[in-house]
Amino acid sequence: MGSKKAVLIAGLFFTVLLNLPALDWPDPQGIILNNFGQNEDGKPALGMSFSSEGEIYASGSGEILFHSGSYASVSSASRLPSPLGVWTAIDHGDGIISVYSRMDEKNQIPVNPVNITTRNVLGYSGLSGWSNSSGFYFFLYDRKERRWINPLMIVNPRPDERPPVIHWVRLRNEEGRVFDPAVTRTLSQGLYTISVSASDTMMAANENPLAPFRIVCSLNGVESGSLNFETYSARDGSLMVYRNGLVPTKEIFTQFPGWEVGTIRFTRGQATLEVIVQDYAGLARNTVFRLQIE
């Protein structure tokens, strides 16, 4: 059953990958502050924030779809304040839209011409909208499927030599009691929710901790929970993420800074709980807990 799910997820992943155009980073030198899927006070990040000082380039060729240059007041046209600050959206075809936001207000680039080629400068890093340091916020949107896409899936890869780190694993029973399986080795039988806190760095330990790409839990070798930070979509007013099927993100992002990866039913006897965390480069780390269930 577990392997079937893994094949299904892998199939889904590669289907998505094969259909998406390759893109470049808007600022290859920009430092990633946080990335797709990161738990931001109980809510997922749907894009990537960069600390940056210079130009912001188009990720690929396309056409300007939308530009909003007003941010300090509620716009008379949109009637909205703008947490995205100064922002530009480019339609790359095949349903892919890239968005460059929180750019510098004083150095805005005119939206003419509307046809953009890779490496055209769209704006400059700065401060506008929901930001407290110089940089920008970048995200990708798939209009065909109406979902946000993890940029790390389709933007040309960045060097990554470090596997993720697992900070903690917690088990919460139906009464709401929380156990650390590294400390409590004996548990009562029943249904438990598994929460995992993990982070990833690419080249050095002192980089900003980022969200991993996938977290998988297995019980006695059988996959019982798999959380993928590939896409987010909203249905009927609720943001959804893939965890053994689409589930509302509020069920996943409850335990800051971790994620609720799934539920496990422990039955009497010995149990081996394994948590595997993988980054987007495929590097993985696991932790195993041998538990006595009474």
Partner 1 sequence: MAKRKKRYWFILGILIFLAYVFAAAQPIPKETFLTARWLSSLESGIPVSLDTYSLDRNSGNPDLLIPFQLGGRYGYIADTGEFSINQIQKNYTSISENFWSEYEPFPTVLEINDTRGRKVMEINDPDGYPFFLDDKFFLIGKGQDTVYALDDNGNIKWVYEFPAPLTCIDAAAGFVLAGTLDGTIELIDSDGKQFIPPYEPGGSRLAVILGCAISKDASRLAIISGIDDQRFLLLEKTGDRYRVVYHEFLSGGYRRPVNVFFIENDSRIVFERENGMGIYDIASRSTVKIDLDSRITAYDKSGGGGLFYLITSPEPDRKNLVAIRYPDTIIMEAPFRSVSSFLERRGSRIFIGGDSGIVSLELREK
Interacting residues with partner 1 between 122 and 161 (CB under 8 A): 127-132, 141, 143, 146-147
Among 177, 235, 265, 290, binds partner 1 (CB under 8 A): 235
Among 237, 245, 270, 294, binds partner 1 (CB under 8 A): 237
Per DSSP, the three-state class of 53 is coil
Q: Classify residue 77 as exposed, middle or buried by CB count within 10 Å of its CB (0-12, 13-18, 19+).
A: exposed
Per rule CB under 8 A, is residue 65 in the interface with partner 1?
Answer: yes
Per rule CB under 8 A, is residue 253 in the interface with partner 1?
Answer: no
Q: How far apart, in Å, are the Cα atoms of 287 and each of 52, 198, 218, 257, 290?
A: 35, 11, 11, 18, 10
Written as six digits, the tokens of 191 are 């249904």
Size of the site for partner 1 (CB under 8 A): 49
Written as six digits, the tokens of 197 are 């806190």
Among 34, 35, 52, 68, binds partner 1 (CB under 8 A): 68
Written as six digits, the tokens of 103 are 């750019």
Per rule CB under 8 A, is residue 115 in the interface with partner 1?
Answer: no
d(CA 112, CA 126): 21
Written as six digits, the tokens of 271 are 């149990």
Cβ nearer to partner 1, comparing 145 with 174: 145
Stretch that binds partner 1, among 16-24, 83-91, 172-180, 265-273 (CB under 8 A): 83-91
Per rule CB under 8 A, is residue 106 in the interface with partner 1?
Answer: no
DSSP string, 269-291: EEEEEEEEEE-TTS-EEEEEEEE
Question: What is the torsional sign of CA 21, 27, 28, 34?
Answer: negative
Written as six digits, the tokens of 27 are 């600022």
Per rule CB under 8 A, is residue 256 in the interface with partner 1?
Answer: no
Per rule CB under 8 A, is residue 71 in the interface with partner 1?
Answer: yes
Among 83, 207, 254, 289, binds partner 1 (CB under 8 A): 83
Among 34, 52, 59, 82, binds partner 1 (CB under 8 A): 82
Stretch that binds partner 1, among 60-68, 151-159, 183-191, 281-289 (CB under 8 A): 60-68
Q: Are 23 and 59 in contact (CB under 8 A)?
A: yes
Q: Are 270 and 203 in contact (CB under 8 A)?
A: no
Cβ nearer to partner 1, comparing 47 with 164: 47
Binding site for partner 1 (CB under 8 A): 41, 43, 46-47, 63-84, 89, 91, 97, 99, 111, 114, 127-132, 141, 143, 146-147, 233-239
